[in-house]
Amino acid sequence: MKKQAPEFIALGQAVLETESQAVAALSARLDKNFVGACELILQCQGRVVVVGMGKSGHIGSKIAATLASTGTPAFFVHPAEAQHGDMGMITPQDVVITLSNSGETDEVTALLPLIKRMGAPLIAMTGRPESTMGKAANVVLDTSVEKEACPLNLAPTASTTATLAMGDALAVAVLDARGFTAEDFALSHPAGALGRRLLLHVGDIMHSGDQLPKVHSEATLADALVEMTRTGLGMTTIVDADGKLLGVFTDGDLRRSLDNNSQPKQTPIQQIMTANCRTANEQQLAAEALQIMDQHAINALPVLNAAGELVGAINMHDLLRAGVV
């Protein structure tokens, strides 16, 4: 019989409810075993090796990736491949996390004597703590569920969701214990938007040297226009004889000058520049320069070094190209 829309929705809601209950039930099980698992990982001198078969393997791969991106070096080993050479990837300095809802997965249990002989601490995530895998482990994390979300109570659904959530809880608890920061996270994600926001500094993308638009205080508006055209930043800085920043002249200043001046080209630039202008520091994050521009509705900033010397200029297009915006 063909299913109707309400039936699809009802079944979907039932799945979500079953899985949310399975995850919520884990909270009461975070006891000394969870603390022990965190301590084993924090004390690990090698890497965390996650092992799982089938759907548990897919979950294990994600747990390893989460650990690795949050300050705990980790990787996933397929248990079948481990029996054919990849066991050499595991060392006594590592901590092994094995995943199996039943705790009796053949490919995983076959590795247990080897892990024990090697001396690597073992954390078991299983729905049956009394299983072969649970008994072999130093620490057991109980990820049992009342039932699967599958109507047949067969397909790994609620159990894999619970295991994934337990892995996240472990990773975040260890992350916090390590004092892991947003900057640390960015180092693991240098190509992402967060990485660019937390790692890219103004000095990395500013225009400097010959590409820094600059005219001296004796210059006229015509001189400033030539310099603005040459560098294409929509602004120029104005400096004194010692190279100290006096102000800026922007496209906006130009429009205002043309509205109020009958002979603009001969006008001394000092008369129409913006003095006491906003600036960025070369060591600032590029994202902070973006905040300054947004807050003050400007499109470019002179850049100073720690000594207050003019060393560059940056505009909104630079931030766009760098992926900061």
Residue 280: which CATH number? 3.10.580.10
As a whole number of angstroms, the distance between CA 40 and CA 170 comes to: 11
pTM beyond 0.85, yes or no? no
Q: Is 28 in the same domain as 139?
A: yes
Residue 60: which CATH number? 3.40.50.10490
Q: Is 172 in the same domain as 110?
A: yes
158-178 vs 5-26: helix crossing angle, rounded to 10: 40
The answer to whether position 169 is within a domain reads yes
Q: Is 285 in the same domain as 165?
A: no
Range of the domain at 37: 5-180
Q: What are 204-249's pLDDT values in tens digits?
A: 999 999 999 999 999 999 999 999 999 999 899 999 999 999 999 9
Q: Is 173 in the same domain as 238?
A: no
Give the 3-state secondary structure of residue 173. helix
Q: What are 119-177's pLDDT values in tens digits?
A: 999 999 999 999 999 999 999 999 999 999 988 888 899 999 999 999 999 999 999 99
Look up tokens 């390893």; give the residue: 64
Of 192-201, 236-245, 313-322, where does mean pLDDT reach its minimum?
192-201
The answer to whether position 44 is within a domain reads yes
pLDDT score recorded for residue 312: 95
Q: Is 97 in the same domain as 50?
A: yes
The answer to whether position 186 is within a domain reads no
Number of other CB atoms surrounding residue 137 within 10 Å: 26
